[in-house]
């Protein structure tokens, strides 16, 4: 999902005031509650404290809130069943405000002041990258539920020792969509339209072009826009002149909805392709269901897949609405967290880090995953088609 908008500059750690939300404890009111610094009483002190650093407000708050809901559900389930190794997991919640600098500040406070054993989140790539050095220096593991850029877990050909994720990476999505364009849609030409302010979008655009052209296709034109742009018609008119078979737009729901709507308004009828950043109901609200016809995107699971029905039912029961892909990835991150703590037999951060690296055949919300040597999960991708306001699964692909 899964995926992130990066700031133009990543800001280092800075101790700043940051309001922390409530601390999640065991369900049914049986757990203790506390402040952001860990609560009061002996019971709270015995809990395993996990930092939940998410975009609760700001431009991608939909992603952050949904991912947190999935994580919280996994933690509530295990706490209701007695906890992990005799202890409850307590989530210490912080708002990164959809800004990389705020994510760094929040991570610093969660580690230094709240003494969390693990960080989960943020949802977006840029904000995760902003906390990597902070967590690594403190030897606290990060589970990134939705950040799909390869740089999150591997930087300069070196694996980040304390960073893991529960989503697949951008090259897989870019390669999958290039393959889908060539083999399923029989496309020979394409145009690429990326968000130049987003590492996520630029990385996907680059991989799609490389894979599409390596398979014999041709990218005729590449254009860019900026986060929060409103009017895309001038650039779309330019892209239209290429008369390409498909348009690839690896971006986020807010801009995607407007781009698709305006593309159809100026007469672009070709298939428009995207990635997991499209996976939000607001895309249809912004674009309109008719404009979304003949569009396709890669994502992490389909709600029509029977294997993920138990997660969907549990989420609906707790929150009263269906989960989106970010909630599912948050749930997967929670399952990874719980499994690692169990196998570590301890709340020691170093032991949890080792256990995360050894994750194998874990049954999570979106399917089964195994951690590879680069701390990325081996898991399938699906491609969904938008059709008359609904989504249909048209392909299910395992990474090569």
DSSP-derived letter for residue 84 is B
Predicted local confidence at residue 30, as pLDDT? 30
Whether 168 has a pLDDT exceeding 90, the answer reads no
- Which has the higher per-residue pLDDT, 208 or 1? 208
Mean pLDDT of 168-183: 90
Mean pLDDT of 44-60: 89
Q: Which of 101-110, 146-155, 177-186, 285-294 has the lowest mean pLDDT?
A: 146-155
Cα angle, residue 77 at apex, residues 75 and 79 outer, rounded to 5°: 70
Predicted local confidence at residue 29, as pLDDT? 30
Predicted local confidence at residue 148, as pLDDT? 83
Give the C-alpha distances (Å, rounded to integers) separating 399 from 169, 301, 307, 355, 369: 10, 14, 19, 23, 12
Q: What's the whole-number average pLDDT of the chain?
A: 87
CATH fold group of domain 170-299: Rossmann fold (3.40.50)
Write the burial class of residue 2 (CB in 10 Å: 0-12 exposed, 13-18 middle, 19+ buried).
buried
Predicted local confidence at residue 302, as pLDDT? 85
258 three-state secondary structure: helix
Whether 277 has a pLDDT exceeding 90, the answer reads no
Torsion sign over Cα 148, 149, 151, 152: negative
Rounded distance, CA 76 to CA 60, Å? 25
Mean pLDDT of 156-177: 92
How many whole angstroms from its chain centre is CA 260? 22
CB 299, CB 256: distance < 8 Å: no
The arrangement of secondary structure in 20-168+308-378, i.e. its CATH architecture, is: 3-Layer(aba) Sandwich (3.40)
The per-residue pLDDT for range 246-257, each reduced to its tens digit, is 999 999 889 999
- Which has the higher per-residue pLDDT, 203 or 212? 212
CB 369, CB 346: distance < 8 Å: no
The per-residue pLDDT for range 358-388, each reduced to its tens digit, is 999 999 988 889 999 999 998 888 899 999 9
Q: How many residues can be counted in the chain?
A: 400
The per-residue pLDDT for range 329-362, each reduced to its tens digit, is 999 999 999 999 999 999 999 999 999 999 999 9
Whether 15 has a pLDDT exceeding 70, the answer reads no
Provide the percentage of residues in the chain whose pLDDT is more than 90. 72
Predicted local confidence at residue 400, as pLDDT? 64
The per-residue pLDDT for range 39-51, each reduced to its tens digit, is 333 344 479 999 9
**CATH 3.40.50.2300 in the chain, residue ranges:** 20-168+308-378, 170-299
pLDDT-derived band of residue 280, with 50, 70 and 90 as boundaries?
Answer: confident
């Amino acid at each position: 999902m899964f995926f992130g908008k990066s700031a133009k500059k990543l800001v280092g750690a800075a101790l700043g005031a940051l309001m922390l939300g409530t601390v999640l404890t065991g369900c049914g009111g049986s757990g203790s509650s506390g402040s952001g610094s860990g609560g009061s009483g002996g019971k709270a002190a015995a809990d395993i404290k996990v930092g939940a650093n998410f975009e609760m407000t700001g431009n991608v708050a939909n992603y952050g809130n949904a991912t947190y809901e999935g994580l919280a559900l996994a933690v509530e389930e295990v706490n209701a069943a007695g906890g992990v190794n005799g202890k409850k997991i307590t989530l210490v919640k912080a708002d990164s405000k959809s800004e990389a600098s705020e994510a760094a500040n929040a991570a610093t406070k969660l580690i230094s002041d709240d003494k969390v054993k693990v960080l989960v989140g943020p949802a977006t790539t840029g904000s995760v990258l902003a906390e990597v050095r902070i967590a690594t220096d403190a030897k606290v593991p990060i589970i990134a539920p939705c950040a799909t850029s390869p740089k999150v877990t591997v930087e300069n050909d070196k694996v980040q020792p304390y960073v893991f994720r529960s989503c697949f990476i951008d090259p897989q999505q870019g390669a999958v969509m290039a393959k889908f364009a060539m083999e399923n849609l029989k496309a020979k030409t394409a145009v690429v339209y990326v968000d130049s302010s987003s590492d996520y979008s630029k990385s996907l655009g680059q991989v799609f072009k490389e894979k599409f052209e390596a398979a014999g296709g041709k990218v005729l034109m590449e254009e860019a826009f900026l986060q929060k742009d409103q009017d895309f018609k001038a650039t779309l008119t330019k892209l239209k002149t290429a008369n390409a078979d498909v348009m690839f737009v690896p971006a986020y729901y807010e801009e995607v909805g407007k781009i698709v709507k305006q593309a159809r308004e100026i007469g672009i009828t070709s298939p428009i392709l995207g990635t997991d950043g499209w996976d939000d109901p607001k895309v249809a609200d912004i674009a309109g269901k008719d404009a979304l016809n003949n569009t396709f995107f890669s994502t992490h699971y389909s709600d029509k897949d029977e294997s993920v029905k138990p997660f969907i039912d549990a989420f609906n029961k707790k929150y009263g609405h269906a989960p989106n892909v970010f909630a599912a990835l948050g749930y997967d991150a929670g399952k990874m967290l719980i499994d690692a703590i169990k196998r570590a037999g301890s709340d020691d951060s170093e032991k949890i880090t080792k256990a995360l690296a050894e994750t194998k055949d874990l049954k999570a919300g979106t399917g089964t995953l195994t951690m590879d040597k680069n701390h990325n999960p081996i898991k399938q991708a699906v491609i969904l088609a938008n059709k008359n306001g609904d989504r249909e699964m048209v392909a299910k692909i395992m990474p090569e």
